[in-house]
Amino acid sequence: MTLDHGDPGDAPSIPAPTAPVVNSARPAAAEEARTIAASTNTATLASLSEDGTPWASFVTYGLLDGLPVLCVSRMAEHGRNLEADPRASIAVVEPNPPADPLAGSRITLAGVVELPVGDEAAAAREAHLAAVPAAKYYIDYSDFSLWVLRVRRIRWVGGYGRMDSASAEDYAAAAPDPVVPSAARAIEHLNADHADSLLSMARVLGGYPDASEAACERADRYGLDLRVVTARGVARTRVGYAQRIDSADQLRAATVELARRAREA
């Protein structure tokens, strides 16, 4: 991650915390990448055309242990490209992007595609069909092939100034976040009914004792992302739970504990 931009643009400056951030635990880049990969079934493939130029094309995918499984036709340029040269990458953008597109999350997974064989071929077929039900209409056409992308390089961007790479090993070992996909309602409830608790969290646990407002922007298995308003400007901070949680069901207890800790401090 680097923020070493050149000449400043028009971006407002972001106020720094004036007290320690008590627990800034958050998902690692490999976990973020697995979460984004699991959040949708469409991506853009970059493959190499006959003349060596890069070809961007819309594709659908399923996931087999985090590896994208594509189903593409040899009658399409990208299908011919993969047959001729297995080097490929896909970009996946998290659904429901914010109004400012670059504030959203996305990943690039790069590597080489391979035709799965034996047990893996059956598993890849199931994985693709589970993610893309309409594929049942064409997956068995003889011009379509299933390709597994053996991921070697992972780049995650979580919005402005939040980005990192992950190794293939870390990506393989990581799990998609079990809280993120089902947290929308809980976040709405926190913001609607517990603004006072969020403000205490921001002041006491999040490093912004001068906060006048706080709203939850995301909940994941490690904690909450808070948007904090101060007289010095708007900032983002983090309040980590006492312990990692493993399902959205545990979110309520974890946030109650955060609120209690903020109140009693």
Q: Please report whether residue 118 would count as binding its own copies according to CB under 8 A.
A: no
Residue with tokens 């980590």: 240
Q: List the one residue from 29, 63, 64, 88 that touches its own copies (CB under 8 A).
A: 88
Of the ranges 9-17, 23-31, 172-180, 185-193, which one interacts with its own copies (CB under 8 A)?
9-17
150 binds its own copies (CB under 8 A): no
Give the gyration radius of the chain's Cα atoms: 21
Strand, helix or coil for residue 139: coil
Please identify which residue in 15, 77, 164, 191 interacts with its own copies, judged by CB under 8 A.
77
Please state, in angstroms and rounded to a whole number, the distance separating the CA atoms of residues 64 and 147.
11
Q: Closest CB to its own copies among 102 and 184? A: 102
53 versus 117: smaller Cβ distance to its own copies: 53
> Do residues 130 and 64 make contact, with C-beta atoms less than 8 angstroms apart?
no
In this chain, which stretch among 72-80, 170-178, 206-214, 232-240 interacts with its own copies, using CB under 8 A? 72-80
- We find the least distance from the C-beta atom of residue 13 to its own copies, in angstroms, to be 11
Q: State in angstroms the smallest separation of the CB of 169 from its own copies.
A: 19
Give the residue ranges of DSSP H helices in 132-204: 168-173, 184-193, 195-200
Do the Cβ atoms of 32 and 105 come closer than 8 Å? yes
Please check whether residue 130 is in contact with residue 62, taking contact to mean a CB–CB distance below 8 angstroms.
yes
Q: Among 21, 22, 25, 57, which residue sits at the site for its own copies (rule: CB under 8 A)?
A: 57
Backbone angles phi, psi at 143, to 5 degrees: -85, -5
Map residues 181-210 to x or -, x wherever contact with its own copies holds by CB under 8 A: ------------------------------
Tokens representing 213 are: 């407002």
Binding of residue 264 to its own copies (CB under 8 A) = no
Asked whether position 25 contacts its own copies by CB under 8 A, the answer is no
Tell me the residue ranges of DSSP E strands in the chain.
Answer: 42-48, 54-64, 67-73, 87-93, 106-114, 144-157, 163-167, 213-219, 223-230, 233-240
224 binds its own copies (CB under 8 A): no
Among the listed residues 21, 23, 24, 55, the single contact to its own copies using CB under 8 A: 55
Among 96, 142, 192, 231, binds its own copies (CB under 8 A): 142
Q: Which residues have a Cβ under 8 Å from the Cβ of 160 and sit 6 or more positions away? A: 102, 103
SS3 258: helix
Would you tell me which residues interact with its own copies (CB under 8 A)? 2, 4-12, 41-49, 52-58, 60, 73, 75, 77, 87-91, 93, 97, 99-103, 106, 108, 110, 132, 134, 136-144, 155, 157
